[in-house]
Amino acid sequence: MASRHLSRSIAMQSLYEWDFHHDRNPEMLEQVLERNLIEFGPGLEEANRQFVRSLAHGVFEHIAQLDAIIEKAAPDWPLEQITVIDRNVLRLGLYELLYSNKDEVPPKVAINEAIELAKNFSGEPSGRFVNGVLGTVFRELQEQDSES
């Protein structure tokens, strides 16, 4: 497994656990990250360990905005009805799509990585759902860019 993909997997698993326990404090997130880095990322280079942390903490810092975008892009799916895995894959994919350096993580890479995470951790239908939501957001971003 490529290092960046593994890093995204660890970030998603950490966000899943953090969200599953409904403990929305940064200390809990940091504890989960440390444990998951030890368990799932032994030998992961420091740059990739930092990438895991930056993704998870980025989602944490922007969770209200990310959740609002998910609710708008998937109006038939209230946030609490989206599975915990899919919700966190969407948050992670949206965070990379909206806030990451586009030279480092092009939008299509962010979307494809999120789709793969959804398929691997939740199943094929989740991959299609994530693709639909992130695709909708990506098209809206492209329309905004063309208008300005």
- List of the chain residues with pLDDT < 70: 1, 23
Give the per-residue pLDDT at 7.
97
DSSP line for 4-55: HHHHHHHHHHHHHHHHHTT---HHHHHHHHHHHHHHH-TT--HHHHHHHHHH
Structural domain range at position 141:
3-147
Q: 67: domain CATH number?
A: 1.10.940.10
Kindly state the DSSP code that residue 1 receives in the 8-state scheme: -
Looking at residue 26, what is its pLDDT? 85
The tokens for 112 are 């494809």
Question: Count of CB atoms within 10 A of residue 101's CB?
Answer: 8
43 phi-psi bin (left φ>0, alpha ψ -120 to 50, beta other): left
Based on the structure, what is the number of domains in the chain? 1
Q: What angle do CA 119, 38, 53 make, to 5 degrees?
A: 70
